[in-house]
């Protein structure tokens, strides 16, 4: 970003006779990360962002936004007075997006958003200057922040969009106006707030509401809920998935511990390899490949790019326990779809010792919690997983469902306040050649168990 403060006034349609000759090279809303050249936006969070303006000034910001219902500051720094800070944030983002005018790719989905975003950015960077959502900044703050901090020479902007309520993605799409909209999948994440997968699908489809008329819609064609709703979308469409009815599908998959390779129907002799485990990540790669194909990237170039991928947020990672055992850690996020995917991936991996799983409650599932926790039982058996450790109130339902598959010595349950007991039991049980999975929603805090094991 690069603009004079005068241009900020113009973009926000604010008249002023006296405007300091200040150059803005970025924006920030976290005073701790403020730096010289930044325009500070005191956004409302748990606390009023105006409380942190002095901290932002101390860290070197060049100017700040100031909401008119607050006392007007002294002239310690250049400031722009607006009626609403959040609205000004979005308005400036829209202005800057139109000014730079990159192609915009918007990505959403119940799982795989961040990974798919990274894959798309990597593929398109073969022949474009690409900017993308940092980490998972995918809400009303994250999307404008992503736009306002893209370089002026950006040719493609890849924007991740998340949601926890109806209408949110529609709103984010009005800011980004995507040229390509991508939906990775429809799962049960946030079903507590939506009630049904149908309503989740409706909310995800909002990403097409403001799709450019000559744009493209790329989605998971294995999902009937998306196939049904896509009929109302007039723009060009491409599908990916496991079924051969899709425009792009994998014809073979080789799952490894740290890599996954696959071939596709479009280029049978070309083997793609991604540096991450899990057959579920193949679908994310297929989505990226379709974006690349629409953008005229050669398949061999996409193959090379995906092989060199570095993922922003690979929550599933391999870590060594202090006794040498392999730990597959995913302790910050869990929902039924993601849990089933990682269980199947772990089944496919060859190991020397036993496979042990530790599963904690999956949160934000609302009235469906009991049924969805029970549903994991279909994917767990003693043939694949020698011991099962369960944590949390909802995992009692899974324990009951598994009781006919496991004896009491191999199926153990703990309250979420019994992590110390769980840790001690695991340290006693775990052998150097074992492989153990830790997966739960962050609210269960299995990261504390992980810390002790390593």
Model confidence pLDDT, tens digit, residues 258-280: 899 999 999 999 999 999 998 99
Binding-site residue positions for ATP: 109-115
Residue range 398-427: average pLDDT?
98
So what's the pLDDT on residue 425? Answer: 98
Q: 3-84 in CATH: which number?
A: 3.40.1390.10
Residue range(s) occupied by CATH 3.40.1190.10 in the chain: 102-307
Residue range 385-408: average pLDDT?
98
The pLDDT confidence band at residue 247, using thresholds 50, 70 and 90, is very high
Cβ atoms of 29 and 145 within 8 Å: the answer is yes
Q: What is the CATH architecture assignment of 317-453?
A: Alpha-Beta Complex (3.90)
pTM, whole model, 2 decimals?
0.90
Query: Does position 69 have pLDDT exceeding 70, yes or no?
Result: yes
Taking alpha carbons only, the member of 207, 206, 203 closest to residue 191 is 203
Measure Cα distances from 187 to 31, 97, 291, 338 in Å: 36, 31, 22, 9
Query: Does position 75 have pLDDT exceeding 80, yes or no?
Result: no
Residue range(s) occupied by CATH 3.90.190.20 in the chain: 317-453
Binding-site residue positions: 109-115
So what's the pLDDT on residue 312? Answer: 60
Residue range(s) occupied by CATH 3.40.1390.10 in the chain: 3-84
So what's the pLDDT on residue 313? Answer: 54
So what's the pLDDT on residue 317? Answer: 86
To the nearest whole number, what is the mean pLDDT of the chain?
A: 95
So what's the pLDDT on residue 74? Answer: 66
CA 72 to chain centre: 39
Residue range 44-68: average pLDDT?
94
So what's the pLDDT on residue 193? Answer: 84
CA 366 to chain centre: 21
Instruction: Identify the CATH homologous superfamily for domain 102-307.
Output: Mur-like, catalytic domain (3.40.1190.10)
Measure Cα distances from 383 to 182, 205, 278, 399, 405 in Å: 38, 40, 20, 17, 10
Q: What burial letters (b/e) apply to 93-124, b meaning 16+ CB within 10 Å?
A: bbbbbeebebbbbbbbbbbbbbbbbbbbbbbb
Greater model confidence, 252 or 188: 252
Taking alpha carbons only, the member of 268, 272, 220, 273 closest to residue 242 is 220
């Amino acid at each position: 970003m690069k603009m004079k403060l005068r241009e900020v006034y113009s973009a926000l349609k604010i008249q002023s006779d006296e405007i300091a000759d200040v150059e803005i090279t970025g924006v920030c809303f976290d005073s701790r990360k403020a730096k010289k050249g930044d325009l500070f936006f005191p956004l409302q969070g748990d606390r009023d962002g105006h409380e942190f303006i002095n901290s932002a000034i101390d860290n070197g910001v060049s100017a700040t936004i100031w909401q008119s219902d607050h006392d007007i500051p002294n002239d310690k720094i250049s400031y722009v007075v607006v009626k609403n800070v959040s609205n000004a944030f979005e308005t400036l983002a829209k202005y800057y997006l139109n000014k730079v005018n990159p192609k915009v790719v918007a990505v959403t989905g119940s799982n795989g958003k961040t990974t798919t975003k990274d894959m798309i950015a990597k593929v398109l960077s073969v022949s474009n200057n690409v900017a993308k959502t940092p980490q998972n900044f995918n809400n009303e703050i994250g999307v404008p922040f992503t736009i306002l901090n893209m370089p002026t020479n950006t040719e493609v902007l890849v924007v991740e969009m998340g949601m926890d309520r109806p209408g949110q993605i529609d709103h984010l799409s009005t800011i980004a106006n995507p040229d390509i909209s991508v939906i990775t999948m429809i799962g049960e994440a946030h079903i507590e707030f939506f009630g049904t997968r149908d309503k989740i699908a409706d909310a995800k489809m909002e990403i097409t509401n403001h799709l450019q008329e000559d744009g493209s819609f790329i989605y998971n064609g294995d999902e009937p809920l998306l196939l049904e709703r896509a009929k109302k979308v007039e723009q060009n469409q491409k599908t990916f998935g496991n079924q051969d009815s899709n425009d792009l599908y994998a014809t073979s998959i080789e799952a490894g511990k740290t890599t996954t390779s696959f071939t596709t129907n479009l280029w049978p002799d070309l083997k793609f390899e991604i540096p991450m485990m899990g057959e579920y990540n193949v679908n994310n790669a297929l989505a990226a490949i379709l974006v690349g194909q629409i953008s005229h990237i050669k398949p061999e170039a996409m193959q090379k790019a995906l092989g060199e991928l570095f993922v922003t947020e690979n929550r599933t990672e391999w870590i060594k326990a202090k006794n040498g055992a392999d730990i597959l850690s995913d302790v910050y996020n869990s929902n039924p779809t993601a849990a089933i995917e990682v269980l199947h991936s772990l089944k496919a991996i060859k190991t020397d010792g036993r496979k042990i799983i530790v599963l904690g409650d999956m949160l934000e599932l609302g009235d469906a919690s009991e049924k969805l926790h029970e549903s994991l039982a279909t994917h767990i058996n003693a043939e694949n997983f020698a011991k099962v450790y369960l944590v949390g109130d909802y995992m009692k339902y899974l324990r009951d469902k598994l009781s006919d598959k496991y004896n009491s010595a191999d199926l153990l349950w703990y309250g979420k306040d019994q992590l110390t007991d769980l840790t001690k039991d695991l340290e006693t049980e775990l052998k150097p050649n074992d492989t153990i999975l830790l997966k739960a929603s962050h609210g269960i805090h299995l990261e504390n168990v992980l810390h002790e094991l390593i």
